[in-house]
């Protein structure tokens, strides 16, 4: 898909050429002066007249009239060079690629060095380019009758770059594209309807990853869970016609199985709320309640492709939460794998129950550091909106690594407080060790605090993606629907991990 050329051959035939413009003010120099020369200086005049804009995220299309090989020039405004960020450049690429995709062009060239700046080098720009290409052109086709018209997508990108390390640029392009495609895989899983993605289907998907990337695979069936005492996951599954699955993928990137990162993803394939049933409006969209599992599976795809020198165990508890004569009820008391008993006050607080057994099982597999990812609470949306993922932790040093990865990935995280009195609320029950729903006050904190009771002393970060797993609007990096949030954060966390 990507070809790197050190020669500024603007005469090679392409459907378009993408050029970045910083507002500093705009002056065509170097290779851009050569490009302007083909147009007898008219590009400079178009900038002066405002027909080509360098304003941030601006897009300007220019017909080339056969003066160069490309049929169109696409200028992407990048704003002030001093304010440029990796995420801003990635969004600019996304805007350009969405425009190219809309025009149904299949071949394009990109003048890479025009996107570099004080804070953005050629490798950053290359990574941003390829990641944006994957993310921005993603589509979930759904189940409508297909058109007979052949689909046209961007198939070839020629990256023009002045002399530098060509192999490093190729490597950066590969890594960025892997991060983007891993995120897209998670998006597709979340977009699938619940009848098309059961716990069994999710286990089969994990099996396909294990076969492709040589992961160690373990899938616990209901009988296995009964032997191990996974009463929390089994309770949530009681009302379902679908069998539960505890899915484990292990990647060993070091000689010894130590300093193991445990990635735990909530895999509720559909959530009715159980007997604490959701409203008719609130139940729509609950196919996305396995967003945490999708994030973990997407991250494992990236890990499988890039093979970092780290040890990772991914654990996914999967079931739906349904209503039947055998479903668990408010006032039930269940016993988790850890041995801790739980008074059920709300069957719609089921995610924290399945994660309780999953966190315990991740520790059983030797996880020394834990991150759980879950569409856990509506409370996090009330607190932080739909652009920021909520977090809790029992270890600030470990959280700092997660935070750094999230910042680099462009997936903002905000740490919520967790104090001793919050833990006491979760432990408040007259008949059990814990209760699963202490009340609406501090809802997002209570959900995470419950999971923390099972992490115990193991360094742990909880990521509540209820607000960020989906979006209701198109962005420069993808359509409305599933976002694949936290795939890149988790993958970067593993890649940059320091024990």
Please indicate whether residue 278 is annotated as part of the active site: yes
Residue 482, CA atoms < 13 Å, CB-side half-sphere: 32
Q: Compute φ and ψ for 72, nearest 5 degrees.
A: -135, 150
H helix intervals, 77-165 = 86-102, 122-136
The total number of residues shown for the chain amounts to: 499
Q: Name the 3-class secondary structure at 264.
A: strand
* Cα–Cα–Cα angle for 356, 328, 421, rounded to 5 degrees: 45
Angle between helices 487-496 and 166-191 (to 10 degrees): 140
Residue the block writes with tokens 């719609």: 348
CB 149 within 8 A of CB 100: no
**Beta pairing partners, 249:** 217, 314
How far apart, in whole angstroms, are the C-alpha atoms of residue 62 and residue 236?
Answer: 58
Give the N- to C-terminal CA distance of the chain in Å, as an integer. Answer: 36
Residue the block writes with tokens 């919050």: 422
Bridge-based pairing of strands 341-343 and 333-335 is: antiparallel
Q: Is the preceding peptide bond at 408 cis, omega within 30 degrees of 0?
A: no
Q: Name the 3-class secondary structure at 127.
A: helix
Please indicate whether residue 352 is annotated as part of the active site: yes
CB 485 within 8 A of CB 469: yes
| Catalytic one of 95, 287, 340, 352 | 352
The neighbour count for residue 203, using CB atoms within 10 Å, is 21
| Catalytic one of 71, 170, 207, 278 | 278
CB 97 within 8 A of CB 154: yes
Helix, strand, coil fractions of the chain, as percent rounded to 5: 40, 20, 40
DSSP secondary structure, 57-101, as one string:
T-EEEEE-TTSSSSSEEEEEE---GGG--HHHHHHHHHHHHHHHH
Measured CA to CA in angstroms, residue 179 lies from 135, 354, 467, 484, 487 at distances of 9, 28, 22, 11, 8
Residues with active-site annotation: 278, 352
């Amino acid at each position: 898909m990507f070809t790197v050329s050190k020669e500024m051959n603007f005469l090679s035939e392409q459907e378009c050429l993408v050029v970045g413009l910083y507002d500093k003010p705009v002056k065509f120099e170097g290779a851009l002066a050569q490009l302007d020369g083909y147009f007898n200086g008219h590009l400079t005049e178009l900038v002066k007249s405002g027909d080509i804009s360098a304003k941030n995220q601006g897009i300007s299309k220019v017909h080339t009239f056969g003066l160069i090989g490309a049929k169109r020039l696409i200028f992407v405004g990048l704003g002030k060079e001093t304010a440029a960020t990796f995420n801003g450049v990635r969004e600019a690429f996304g805007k350009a690629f969405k425009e190219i995709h809309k025009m149904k062009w299949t071949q394009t060239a990109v003048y890479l060095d025009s996107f570099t700046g004080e804070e953005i080098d050629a490798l950053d720009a290359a990574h941003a380019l390829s990641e944006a290409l994957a993310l921005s052109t993603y589509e979930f086709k759904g189940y409508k009758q297909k058109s007979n018209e052949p689909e046209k997508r961007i198939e070839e990108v020629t990256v023009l770059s002045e002399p530098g390390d060509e192999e490093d640029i190729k490597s950066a392009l590969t890594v960025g594209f892997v991060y983007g495609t891993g995120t897209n895989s998670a998006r597709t899983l979340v977009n699938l309807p619940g009848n098309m993605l059961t716990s069994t289907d999710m286990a089969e998907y994990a099996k396909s990853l294990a076969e492709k990337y040589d992961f160690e695979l373990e899938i616990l069936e209901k009988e296995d869970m009964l032997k191990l005492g996974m009463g929390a996951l089994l309770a949530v599954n009681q009302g379902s016609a679908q069998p539960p699955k505890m899915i484990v993928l292990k990647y060993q990137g070091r000689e010894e199985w130590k300093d193991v990162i445990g990635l735990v993803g909530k895999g509720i394939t559909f959530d009715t709320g159980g007997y604490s049933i959701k409203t008719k409006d609130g139940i729509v969209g609950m196919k996305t309640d396995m967003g945490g599992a999708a994030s973990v599976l997407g991250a494992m795809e990236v890990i499988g492709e890039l093979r970092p020198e780290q040890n990772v165990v991914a654990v996914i508890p999967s079931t739906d939460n349904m209503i039947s004569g055998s479903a668990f009820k408010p006032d039930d008391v269940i016993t988790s794998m850890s041995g801790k008993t739980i008074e059920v006050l709300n069957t719609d607080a089921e995610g924290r129950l399945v994660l309780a057994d999953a966190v315990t099982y991740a520790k059983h597999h030797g996880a020394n550091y834990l991150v759980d990812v879950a569409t856990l609470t509506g409370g996090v949306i009330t607190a932080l909106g739909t652009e920021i993922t909520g977090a809790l932790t029992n270890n600030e040093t470990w959280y700092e690594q997660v935070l750094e990865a999230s910042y680099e990935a462009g997936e903002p995280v905000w740490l919520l407080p967790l104090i001793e009195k919050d833990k006491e609320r979760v432990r408040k029950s007259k008949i059990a060790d814990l209760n699963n729903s202490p009340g609406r006050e501090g809802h997002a904190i209570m959900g995470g605090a419950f999971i923390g009771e099972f992490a115990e002393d193991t360094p742990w970060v909880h990521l509540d993606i209820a607000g960020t797993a989906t979006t209701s609007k198109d962005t420069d990096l993808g359509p409305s629907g599933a976002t694949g949030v936290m795939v890149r954060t988790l993958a970067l966390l593993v890649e940059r991990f320091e024990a």
